[in-house]
Structure formats: structure tokens, C-alpha cells
Amino acid sequence: MKSKSAILVGVGGQGAILTAKVLVNGLMKAGFDVKMSEVHGMSQRGGSVSTQVHWGEKVYSPVIGDGAADLMVAFEKMEAVRYAHFLKPDGVAVINDYEMASSTIAAGLEAYPEGCLEAMEANFRCYTLDAAKIAMELGNVKCMNIVLFGAMTKALQLDDIDWEDVIRETVPPKFLELNLAAYRAGRAAAE
């Protein structure tokens, strides 16, 4: 098989790295060679962040460039637009219908762009969901990342992997039930 790659994008502190970890654990269990790359440092202070995951029988580069990602998961909708150039023209995007102002927007120096979702949906096959609302209904907004992960597994089409098992092995027991519910709700939302 040709190797595949996913890019997870969002704002520092949204939990993209944990989500990538669950994904990678599942891919490892399924016997794939996996590489994952993230950028630390100044980006943690409320800046834009991205994590890339690359898998296949044998993987060389841990990173991809323009037009090379099969899948994008965007934890924030403007970040989907920012990183859209990484997607293949026939790539799939899972997008959180969620808006976070940047510091420059908050300070009134710039305006949040209109039409982020529409632009993505017009150009790529998209699964759009309000993960924050779903997470809130489950009782904890912090499980928003696993809601998105559930939708992502639908888009991934790696149905041989028992993702619930992977979640059991990855998240702390205290949050297991919440995360399983979040995963199922996210997957259902993408149906």
C-alpha cells in the first residue's frame, strides 16, 4: 500500500497531541510503520499548532509538504483554512464548527474571516460537526478532542482497528467512560 498521512491542526491547548496519540496507538496495533511530528515551543502560547501522522508498510519522512495530506482534522475552523494547502485535492477534512479568536482579533486589530466552513466544503469532502456542543451535552467540554477523533475514524475507513480498545489503553481510567461516549457520539455525528 502507499503510505497515508493525516494532519491535525488547532490552537495550543485544544488536545490535538492527545488525539494524535490515540490515532498512532491504533495504527501501531494494526501493524503499520508510523511516524508522527509536532512542533513545540512558542506555538504553545495560544498560537496555531499542527501535528502530522504518517503511516504505511514502511514510512520515511515524518512530515509532509503542500498537497500531500489524505486527511485533515481541524479543531478550529479558521485553522482548517490556514492548513488547507497541506490537503490533497481529493483529501478529506473533519472540521470542528468552533471559533476561537486569536490575540490580534481579540485586540480588534483584525477580524475573524467569514465563510471558513463554506470554503472548505466547496473544495474538499468534509465532515463538519459542532464537537464543543456534543462534548458539552456529554458533560465535559474537554472531551471535544475525542468527539472529533470519533468522526475522524469514520473518515479514515480503517474499520479493522478496534478504536474503543485503543481508547481504553490510551486514556486514564477515570475519564474512560466519558471518552468512550465522546468517541461514539463523534462517530455517529459523522455517519
Partner 1 sequence: MTKHLLSGNEAIARGAYEAGVKVCSAYPGTPSTEIFESLPQYKDALYCEWAPNEKVATEVAYGAAIGGVRSLCAMKHVGLNVAADPLFTAAYNGINRGFVIVTADDPSMHSSQNEQDNRYYARSAKVALVEPSDSQECIDFMKEAYRISEKFDMPVLFRTTTRISHSKSLVTFGEREEAEPYTYQRNAKKYVCAPANAYQNHPKVERNLAALEEYSNRSPLNRMELKGTKTGVITASIAYQYAKDVFPADTSFLKLGLTNPLPMDLIREFASKVETLYVIEELEGFMEEQIKAAGIDCIGKALVSNMYELNPQRLKEMLFGEKPVVKELPVKAVSRPPALCPGCPHRGFFYTMSKGKDFVIAGDIGCYTLGASAPLTAMDTCICMGGGFSLAMGMSKAFEASGQKKKVFGVLGDSTFFHSGMTGAAEILYNKGSVIPVVLDNHITGMTGHQDNPGSGYTLQGEMAAAIKIEDVLRAYGYENVIIVDPQDLAAMQKAVDDALASEVPVAIITRRPCLLIKRMKHDIGTCVVDTSKCIGCRKCLKVGCPAVMVKDRKSFIDPTQCVGCTVCAQVCPVGAIRREEKGK
35 by DSSP, 3-state: which? strand
Note whether 139 binds partner 1 by CB under 8 A.
Answer: no
Note whether 64 binds partner 1 by CB under 8 A.
Answer: yes
CA distance 8 to 111: 24
Q: State the alpha helices, DSSP H only, in 73-159.
A: 77-82, 103-106, 116-123, 131-137, 144-156
Residues 43-62 that bind partner 1 (CB under 8 A): 43-48, 59-62
CA distance 81 to 115: 10
Question: Taking the chain, what is the end-to-end CA distance rounded to the nearest angstrom?
Answer: 26
- Say if CB 131 and CB 94 are below 8 A apart: no
Note whether 40 binds partner 1 by CB under 8 A.
Answer: yes
Note whether 113 binds partner 1 by CB under 8 A.
Answer: yes
User: Which DSSP letter does residue 113 get?
Assistant: P
Q: Amino acid identity of 140?
A: N
Note whether 1 binds partner 1 by CB under 8 A.
Answer: no
Q: Amino acid identity of 99?
A: E
Out of 106, 136, 168, 169, the residue judged to bind partner 1 by CB under 8 A: 106
Out of 4, 18, 30, 38, the residue judged to bind partner 1 by CB under 8 A: 38
Q: How near is the Cβ of 184 to partner 1 at its closest, in Å? A: 25
Q: How near is the Cβ of 60 to partner 1 at its closest, in Å? A: 4
Block residue for cell numbers 468534509: 126
Q: How near is the Cβ of 157 to partner 1 at its closest, in Å? A: 22
User: Which DSSP letter does residue 114 get?
Assistant: S
Residues 118-137 that bind partner 1 (CB under 8 A): 119-120, 123-124
Binding site for partner 1 (CB under 8 A): 11-12, 24-25, 28, 33-48, 59-68, 78-79, 81-82, 84-85, 87-89, 101-116, 119-120, 123-124, 141
